[in-house]
Structure formats: structure tokens, C-alpha cells
A and B are shown apart, each in its own frame.
Chain A
Amino acid sequence: MLLSSVFRALAGGALIGLAASIALLGNGRIAGISGTLGRAFDTGDGRDFRVPFLIALISIGALAYAVAPSAFGVPLRSTPTLALAGLLVGVGTALGNGCTSGHGVCGLSRLSPRSLVAVMTFMLTGGLTVALVGARA
């Protein structure tokens, strides 16, 4: 573990917490990515938050890649494996009502028992999966 990795993690994490706080205090919304994406096509006033939030997330990500490509690793697995992984992530976060951001950042900050159980569960199965298939291809 490099010290620079820890500083980057802390700085980036603080920005993520700030972003979640802007969404909450400005829009009254939980900045969970899976929930925001899963409801992106729903009608109703939540669209005013979800669509611009997601467009900004994707386009600033693209801009960050143009400026600092080294911040982005390359996919570790083949396209079919990633498609399977994506399907599991989509189905799992829809059933479990959240992902790393919705449960891990927003839910734990609300001291939600549901989110604590979810975080412990996905950390456990994520760890078991890596132990089984290896950290890289």
C-alpha cells in the first residue's frame, strides 16, 4: 500500500462525499449510482436530477480520461466475462436496492442497518470471488 494511494483515496473519497451531499441538500436525492441509473427512464420529477447527474458523471469521466488516462485502468477480463459481470451487478443492485455508493457511502452515512448488511455482504462475496478467480486474468 503506497502512501500516495492512500492520499488519492482520501481526496477522491472526500469529493464523492461532497457530491452525495450536493445531491442530498440541493435536490433531496440519494446519489446511489445503481438506483439513479435503474430509474433513469422513469417519468416524474426525479428525471430532473437523474438525467443531468448521469450525463455529467459520464462526460466528466470521459474528460478526466482525456486529461489523465493513467487514472483509468484497463478491463481485466474478456468481453463475455464482463457482460456476465455487468448482468450480475445490474440484477444484484436492483434486488438489493443499491451498490457501493447507495449503500456504502449514502446508506452508511445515514447509519442504515440495511446498508451495513448489504456492504458486509457484497464485500464478502466480492472477496470470495477474487479469491476464487484471482485478482487479475
Chain B
Amino acid sequence: MKAIVTAVIAGAVFALGLAISGMTDPAKVTGFLDVTGAWDPSLAFVMVAAIAVHLPLVRLARQRKSPLFDRAFHWPTAHGIDAKLVGGAAIFGIGWGLSGYCPGPALTSLAAGGLPLLAFVVAMLAGLLVTRAIAKTS
């Protein structure tokens, strides 16, 4: 039960952070990526502040045997830099630049974005699920 409460708080704070930061405005996101045009670098500060808060707390987590409400930390297990990582990130970047939406802001904006954003989210979910299913069988 406590695990569900912290999950809800994390999701809620995440959504508020995205909405306040400007990440839920796709024009602002494409402006951030428009380095050769009318570049608006302000969104870089989203990542700066997020890492400034999260990095010391990751160090704290590393010193603990387990999180508060689970038996163990679920640290990522993938390692090494391969074509799948670089190719996947490259494909993601194209979709991000084309739309101005990455996954978090897309879900947070679901109520705001109407049919076009719903199409984005459905296609994103399909892409995630199908790719994961294929990766599992191969």
C-alpha cells in the first residue's frame, strides 16, 4: 500500500514538474532543438535542475540496501554501448523533433492535446509494445 502511495506521489510531482517547466509546450521544445534557428535554450535548465536534485539522492540510494517500500532497488541491468542503443536513441530523436513531444510530456498533455496527441500516444504505445515483443522473441 505504501509503495502505491509513493508511486502516486512520484507520478503527480513528475506531471507538475513537466507542466511548470515548459516541456508540455511542443513549440517550446522544438524551439529548444532549433539550434540553427531562433534557438531558445531555456529548457536545458530543466535537465540541469532535475539532475542537481536527483544526483545526490541517487548517491544516497546507492548507500542503502533497499528502498523504503520494496525489497531491493531495480537498477538498470543493460550495459555497454551498442548499435541498438545509438540507433534507438537516434530514431527517438527524430520523432521528438518532428512532434515536440517526448513520452512524459505526451502523457501529461493527453487531456490537452486532442485527437492529434491521442494518435501520437496510441502509436507510441504500439511502438513500445511491438518492439519489446519482437526483442523478447529474437
A60–B21 CA distance with the chains assembled, in angstroms:
15
A58–B105 CA distance with the chains assembled, in angstroms:
9
Secondary structure class of chain A's binding surface, majority of residues: helix
Residue pair A14, B84 in contact (C-beta under 8 Å): no
A45–B46 CA distance with the chains assembled, in angstroms:
31
Residue pair A21, B80 in contact (C-beta under 8 Å): no
**Cβ contacts under 8 Å, A92 to chain B:** 88-95, 127
A9–B23 CA distance with the chains assembled, in angstroms:
8
Interface residues of B in 54-81 (CB under 8 A from A): 54-55, 57-58, 60-61, 64, 66-70, 72-76, 78-81
CB distance from A69 to the nearest CB of B (A): 7
CB distance from A68 to the nearest CB of B (A): 7
Number of A positions contacting B (CB below 8 A): 113
Residue pair A135, B85 in contact (C-beta under 8 Å): no
CB distance from B12 to the nearest CB of A (A): 4
Residue pair B33, A53 in contact (C-beta under 8 Å): no
A94–B101 CA distance with the chains assembled, in angstroms:
16
Residue pair A114, B80 in contact (C-beta under 8 Å): yes
Residue pair A135, B51 in contact (C-beta under 8 Å): no
CB distance from A32 to the nearest CB of B (A): 8
A135–B104 CA distance with the chains assembled, in angstroms:
20
Residue pair B85, A118 in contact (C-beta under 8 Å): yes
Given A9-B46, A20-B54, A96-B85, are A75 and B11 neighbors across the interface (CB < 8 Å)?
Answer: no
Given A13-B48, A28-B73, A90-B126, are A84 and B108 neighbors across the interface (CB < 8 Å)?
Answer: no
